[in-house]
Amino acid sequence: MSGNKSSGVRYGMVIDIDKCTGCTACSVACQQENNVPFREDETNKVRSITWMEIYQLDNGMPYPEYRQAYLPRLCLHCGASPYPPCTFVCPVNATHRDEDTGLVNHIPVRCIGCRYCISACSYHARYFNWWDPKWPKPMEEMLTPNVSPRMRGVVEKCTMCVHRLQLAKDRAFMEGRSELEEGEYVPACVESCPAKAMTFGNLLDPDSEVARLAKSSLAFRLLEKLGTEPKVYYLSSQDWIHKLADKVM
Amino acid sequence: MTGENKQQNSGLLGWLLFVVGFTGALFVGWVIFPQLLFSTQYQPINYNHVIHQEEAGMSCEDCHYFRDDGTYAGKPKLAACAECHEEPQGETESEAMLVSEYVEPKKEIPWVSYSRQPDNVFFSHAAHVKMAEMECTDCHGDVGQQTEAPPVKINRLTGYPNKIMKMYVCEDCHAREHVSNSCNVCHK
């Protein structure tokens, strides 16, 4: 997180690949929570929108050495200084990093759909709305009121459920607090993980679980050599995962 | 002589045309265009804030309160009105209408909002009232002193009321008060 203006809060995530069972509960929870539209044919991965996507990794060895693992991928909310790659290239300032929280946000109504940020992102974390969102009849009633659906022609991506941060802050304000306690703000994916493979919190708080795990010797980040300083860390005790994770990006 | 007269006349005529055209343009811009752009909507019931405070001894928070989770209740639901207005209490026409058209058939009152923000705006009343200690009147005006509900002007193109707070007003105040102007502070 070098170079960021310090506010004492840098939200980040640690995902333990050894614990992940690839059940995709995080992916479903994300889709539901953030009103992410889907289409009849979701097999076309170039056109589908999946803020939280799960890659399947395997070590390529024949049985009995065969091993496989799952790599949940979301926007890594890069901490690179002074800008993450995506916000650096945006011609209309539709995406930018909140220096108080470290979250990279995207404002769809300001987006002109040039998709420059999609090409700049090294992690395929950004998606383009090729069509206006449509939900089958009863599902319209189930949309989250706290997240505004996006329209055709704009980019969207993981926001780390920033609306949950807004609501958590409101609750804290009612108690006269301006600081959040650990666990008050958690994205939907982390909350839904049945294997408890994901941890979320303030990376700058030395007492937080997420900061402790991020410093672990098992921790690594995707494409670290690029200097994008992602705030999502992965844990694995297996060497082949460390080596392969960069190659699948 | 006649030539000079002619010149004077055409000068006068030019001025006259200019004045007529100018006032006409102003009239179109100031009177006709706003009427075309904004539709006037009246509240379903001519609500009197003063009478509720003075004669019923109610306070603002009886209807406009914070929920425990920090969200704001805004306008009260019919159930709150029905607590007192099961039967008409006075003799006003508005109250008779409230009882006969809404309370008895148990139909929610379709109030028209004076300040409905677009869907992608997250406005936190808790942040402004509880933390920044702003007064309600700073943004909403002295609504408590209104004896009748003023009509709402709705922009026909956007569907938003004309007195809605604009983004530059939010940004100005946030900048002055050194509060973050980051997109996701107010947008969802």
Q: Is the ipTM here above 0.90?
A: no
Q: What is the pLDDT of residue B73?
A: 87
Confidence of residue B30 (pLDDT cuts 50, 70, 90): very high
Q: What is the pLDDT of residue B3?
A: 58
Q: What is the pLDDT of residue B37?
A: 92
Confidence of residue A43 (pLDDT cuts 50, 70, 90): confident
Instruction: Name the residue among A163, A172, A173 with its Cβ closest to that of B188.
Output: A163
Report the percentage of chain A scoring pLDDT > 90.
79
Q: What is the domain partition of chain B in residue ranges?
A: 1-41
Contacts of B182 in chain A (CB under 8 A): 96, 98-101, 105
Per-residue HEC secondary structure of chain A comes to CCCCCCCCCCEEEEEECCCCCCCCHHHHHHHHHCCCCCCCCCCCCCCCCCCCEEEEEECCCCCCCCCEEEEEECCCCCCCCCCCHHHHHCCCCCEEECCCCCCEEECHHHCCCCCHHHHHCCCCCEEECCCCCCCCHHHHCCCCCCCCCCCCCCEEECCCCHHHHHHHHHHHHHCCCCCCCCCCCCCHHHHHCCCCCEEEEECCCCCCHHHHHHCCCCEECCCHHHCCCCCEEEECCCHHHHHHHHHCC
Reported pTM:
0.86
pLDDT digits (tens, 9 = 90+) for B106-136: 999 999 998 889 989 999 999 999 989 999 8
CB contact under 8 A, A105 and B182: yes
Report the percentage of chain B scoring pLDDT > 90.
43
A83 vs chain B: nearest CA distance in angstroms?
A: 14
Confidence of residue A4 (pLDDT cuts 50, 70, 90): very low
Instruction: Name the residue among A106, A166, A171 with its Cβ closest to that of B122.
Output: A166
Mean pLDDT, rounded, of chain B:
89
pLDDT digits (tens, 9 = 90+) for A5-22: 456 899 999 999 999 999
**Interface membership of B183 toward A (CB under 8 Å):** yes
Max intra-chain CA distance, chain A: 60
Instruction: Name the residue among A105, A147, A173 with its Cβ closest to that of B130.
Output: A173
Selection from A241, A182, A246 nearest residue A211 by Cα: A182
Any idea which of A23-32, A149-158, B50-59 has the lowest mean pLDDT? B50-59
Round to whole Å and give the CA distance between B178 and B187.
18
pLDDT at residue A212 above 50?
yes
pLDDT at residue A1 above 50?
no
pLDDT at residue B14 above 50?
yes
Contact map slice: A 77-96 vs B, CB within 8 A = 96
Q: What is the pLDDT of residue B5?
A: 67
Would you state the structure tokens that stand for residue B97, as one six-digit string? 């209408």
**Interface membership of A166 toward B (CB under 8 Å):** yes
pLDDT at residue A3 above 50?
no
Contact map slice: B 29-58 vs A, CB within 8 A = none
pLDDT digits (tens, 9 = 90+) for A175-189: 988 889 889 999 999
- N-to-C CA span, chain A: 21
Instruction: Name the residue among B66, B183, B187 with its Cβ closest to that of A174.
Output: B66
Pick the CATH number of A11-247 from 3.10.105.10, 3.40.50.150, 3.30.70.20, 1.20.58.1610: 3.30.70.20
CB contact under 8 A, A171 and B70: yes
pLDDT digits (tens, 9 = 90+) for A57-91: 999 999 999 999 999 999 999 999 889 999 999 99
Report the percentage of chain A scoring pLDDT > 70.
97
pLDDT at residue A159 above 50?
yes
pLDDT digits (tens, 9 = 90+) for B151-175: 999 999 989 998 889 999 999 999 9
pLDDT digits (tens, 9 = 90+) for A224-249: 999 999 999 999 999 999 999 888 87
Selection from A236, A182, A148, A203 nearest residue B184 by Cα: A148
Phi and psi for A157 in degrees, rounded to 5?
A: -165, 175
Return the residue of B nearest to A98 by Cα.
B182
Mean pLDDT, rounded, of chain A:
91
Query: DSSP secondary structure string, chain B?
Result: -HHHHHHHHHHHHHHHHHHHHHHHHHHIIIIIHHHHHEEEE--SS---HHHHHHTS---GGGTS-B-TTS-B--SPPHHHHHHHTTS--S--HHHHHIIIIIITTT----PPPSSPPPTTB---HIIIIIIS---THHHH-SGGG-SS---EEEETTT--BTTPPPHHHHHHHHHHTT----HHHHB-
B97 vs chain A: nearest CA distance in angstroms?
A: 32
Would you state the structure tokens that stand for residue A210, as one six-digit string? 């997420």
Q: What is the pLDDT of residue A179?
A: 87
pLDDT at residue A194 above 90?
yes
Q: What is the pLDDT of residue A6?
A: 55
